[in-house]
Amino acid sequence: MKNIRILAYHKVNDSGTGALDVPVKNFEQQMEYLKIHRYNVISLDELVEKLRNKKMVKEKSVVLTFDDGHRDNYTFAYPVLKKYNFPATIFLTTSYIGSKDFLSWEQIGEMSGEKFPEKNRISFGAHTATHPHLTRISLENARDEIKKSKEIIEDKTGILCSYFCYPYGDMNEEIKKIVQECGYIAAVVTPPRSGIKEDIFCLKRVGIYRHTTMLQFRLKLWGFILG
């Protein structure tokens, strides 16, 4: 995956002060940079389809992802993504949905149903039910978290949930196997994990944060910064 970057965001807003709160202006500048410099922004669906079928992925390909399901993904990130016709995947922690500062199922339905221009859209993956450290709970409970979140998303949206994101990037080979057994076809992780083979159930991402400057953003795209 030398020519591919999967970017990991959490929040996009101007009110937060935490490391995960990317200012709206910064996010827009980052998306504008991708557009101006002709990056091939593709959906996670397209990337996984090419990887599974061993097809060539274009140089400078980028996949956009968001974790947890924060409400500002709809309020601030979504309009920018539509402006640039960029697809993205939001990984939902299902117990958070509908609570303060998180997406509602109505907003999720709106985003998943809209395509801009044709096949580009917002898709949704699972990020467990309650966001635990999966390696710190029993395998039985981990399986329940992984399976339940998939089932809830499919029940609420009527759309197949094919992708998983490991909370805190906490995973091992046993957890990876459970994700596969629960019916997902791919999974992503941040930050990169040493000692764990990178494959379709361990697709490594690069995190974008409040403190990420445009120079750092470019360096992350170029592969000089991996975390």
Residue 144 pLDDT exceeds 90: yes
Task: Show Cβ contacts of residue 215 under 8 Å, excluding neighbours closer than 6 positions.
Answer: none
Task: Show Cβ contacts of residue 109 under 8 Å, excluding neighbours closer than 6 positions.
Answer: 156, 157
**CATH architecture for the domain at 4-222:** Alpha-Beta Barrel (3.20)
| Chain segment 93-112, per-residue pLDDT in tens | 999 999 999 999 999 999 98
Split at pLDDT 50, 70, 90, the class of 120 is low
Asked whether the beta carbons of 203 and 7 are under 8 A apart, the reply is: no
| Chain segment 54-87, per-residue pLDDT in tens | 899 998 999 999 999 999 999 999 999 999 999 9
What is the four-CA torsion angle of 112, 62, 80, 37, rounded to 10 degrees?
-150
Number of C-alpha atoms within 13 angstroms, CB side, residue 136?
A: 8
| Chain segment 5-39, per-residue pLDDT in tens | 999 999 999 988 899 999 999 999 999 999 999 99
Ordered by start, the domain boundaries in the chain are 4-222
